[in-house]
A = this chain, B = another copy of it.
Amino acid sequence: MTNFIEIDQFFDRKMDESIQELSKLIAQPSISATGVGLQECAQLVVSMFNKRGFRVYEFSNGIAPILFAEKEGKCEKTILFYNHYDVQPAEPIELWNSPPFKPEVRDNRLYGRGTCDNKGNITNRLFTLDAFEEVIGEYPCHVKFLIEGEEEVSNKHLADFVKEHSSLLMSDACIWEFGGVDHTGIPVQYLGLRGCCYVQLDVEVANQDVHSGIGGSIFPNAAWRLVWALNSLKSQDEKILLPNFYEKVIPPSKRDIELMDQLPDESNYYKELYGIKGFLKGIQSGTGLKIAEAFEPACTICGLTSGYQGAGSKTILPAKASAKIDFRLVPDQTPSDVLKQLREHLDNQGFNDVIITDLGGDLPERTDPDDPFIQILVSTAEEVYGSPMRIMPMTGGSGPNYIIQQALRIPIGTMGVGYPEANSHAPNENIRLDDYLKAAKHLARALQKFGES
């Protein structure tokens, strides 16, 4: 049996080095929405794996290479890590307290775009493996990494890649890209993700903006067309109005509700963190809030653009208007169903002038909370955090885990460096250094037990 005293000492001793490696990775922008820095960041990741003696495979797709790395360990039992090196855009830049791509430690937190989502989890996993290499001389199991660069833009090339290379990826279990503690400091096993259907809606009514004094009463206005079209998608009581939208929705099971019930109430925490006054649909707190967050579909306007947006007034009638819309889906809804429903709905409502652009989608997916691998991740947390992981049977986010699960049919668990104030996708993204350290200690114990299982 491995003695974790030396392993933990390694973590304490080498923490700064790992944070330096992470900082270098953050300093290399890799924004998949705009394409900035993807190749350069992929090369940086490749060098990190080469340095450690992994066999690294780089699969080019002309945009953001998919990386695969593997290295043998003490046994043939194989763990697959899924991560991504791309990040969300940093806008609005002016809301950051330090530059998003100049990582900075303040108050025992590391700030920078990608600290939590997802670069911090890449270096943290390598940090854990380094401990085994130095203290034991070998990894506790066979290790594979699948790291892509299009996670934030709906994983455009992942599905084809996984289908084509399923034998290369074959493993006994998978640890997903993210994870972390809740606001009480206890780590959460996030199981299952909602699906996503992300579209842009565009309206164009003229070849140029027109003086509103001339056209206001007689010309079509792209912004008005868009507002009316959007208004038709969701009523003020949050009911999504696409035809048959709710038809395939599977409500949470008794076991789901039981697990949700065991999770702490986050209502006051959310209110304070985000400065919001209350929740939608008349929900106050408790299990109802948790169920609505993860087990109900959503239709979110992520962005609106039209006409004049500068200071003061400009009296124009906009020729163009557009909105970015994110539908979150629960089993068994699918992005392709939603695209069809959306087109049908807009046509039915008289909005055939609204153009839909599909910006990508994910299927919803679930994982069995009672799988033995999941139980290893859950139980090994106790030694580090003083409590086993809490199990969240479904989460509100989305991702491509359905791709892995459909291809490999293995359990997929989550663990990582995150915490609720990490501001993933928002200004001032950060991780707490203490979480980073604990995540490595937890993962070391989980991998050891997995190798022995």
Q: Output the nearest chain B residue to A236 by Cβ-Cβ distance.
A: B228
Q: Mark A117-145, 1 if CB is under 8 A from B, else 0.
A: 00000000000000000000000000000
Give Cα distance in the complex from A353 to B32, angstroms: 35
Is there an interface contact between A234 and B224, defined as CB atoms closer than 8 Å? yes
Which residue of B154, B211, B276, B306 is within 8 Å of A304 (Cβ)?
A: B306
Q: How many A residues have CB within 8 A of the partner chain?
A: 96
Is there an interface contact between B227 and A293, defined as CB atoms closer than 8 Å? no
Is there an interface contact between A324 and B328, defined as CB atoms closer than 8 Å? no
- The answer to whether A397 has its CB under 8 Å from any CB of chain B is yes
Of A76-84, A422-430, A440-448, the segment with at least 4 beta carbons within 8 Å of chain B is A422-430
- Given the complex, which residues of B lie within 8 Å of A313, measured CB to CB? 33, 152-154, 198, 200, 302, 324, 326, 359-360
Which residue of B228, B299, B312 is within 8 Å of A32 (Cβ)?
A: B312
Q: Output the nearest chain B residue to A219 by Cβ-Cβ distance.
A: B276
- The answer to whether A194 has its CB under 8 Å from any CB of chain B is yes
Closest chain-B Cβ to A151's Cβ sits at a distance in Å of 11
Which residue of B217, B275, B305 is within 8 Å of A305 (Cβ)?
A: B305
With known contacts A223-B304, A296-B217, A205–B276 Cβ distance under 8 A = yes
With known contacts A214-B396, A218-B292, A302–B315 Cβ distance under 8 A = yes
Q: Output the nearest chain B residue to A231 by Cβ-Cβ distance.
A: B231
Is there an interface contact between A283 and B316, defined as CB atoms closer than 8 Å? no
Give Cα distance in the complex from A359 to B398, angstroms: 41
Is there an interface contact between A321 and B304, defined as CB atoms closer than 8 Å? yes
Is there an interface contact between A210 and B304, defined as CB atoms closer than 8 Å? no
- The answer to whether A307 has its CB under 8 Å from any CB of chain B is yes
With known contacts A213-B328, A300-B317, A318-B302, A275–B207 Cβ distance under 8 A = yes
Highest count of chain B CB atoms <10 Å: which of A33, A270, A309? A309
Is there an interface contact between B153 and A298, defined as CB atoms closer than 8 Å? no
- The answer to whether A95 has its CB under 8 Å from any CB of chain B is yes
- Given the complex, which residues of B lie within 8 Å of A386, measured CB to CB? none
Is there an interface contact between A34 and B312, defined as CB atoms closer than 8 Å? yes
Contacting B at CB under 8 A, from A67-105, are 88-89, 91, 95
- The answer to whether A1 has its CB under 8 Å from any CB of chain B is no
Is there an interface contact between A279 and B209, defined as CB atoms closer than 8 Å? no
Highest count of chain B CB atoms <10 Å: which of A33, A216, A223, A280? A216
With known contacts A91-B310, A312-B32, A297–B212 Cβ distance under 8 A = no
Q: What are the nearest 10 A-B pairs in CB distance? A: A216-B298, A213-B397, A207-B275, A33-B312, A223-B301, A303-B307, A231-B231, A303-B308, A304-B306, A217-B298
Q: A223-B301, A304-B305, A314-B425 are in contact. List 10 more A-B contacts (CB 8 A).
A: A33-B311, A88-B315, A205-B277, A208-B426, A216-B326, A217-B297, A221-B301, A227-B301, A301-B307, A305-B309
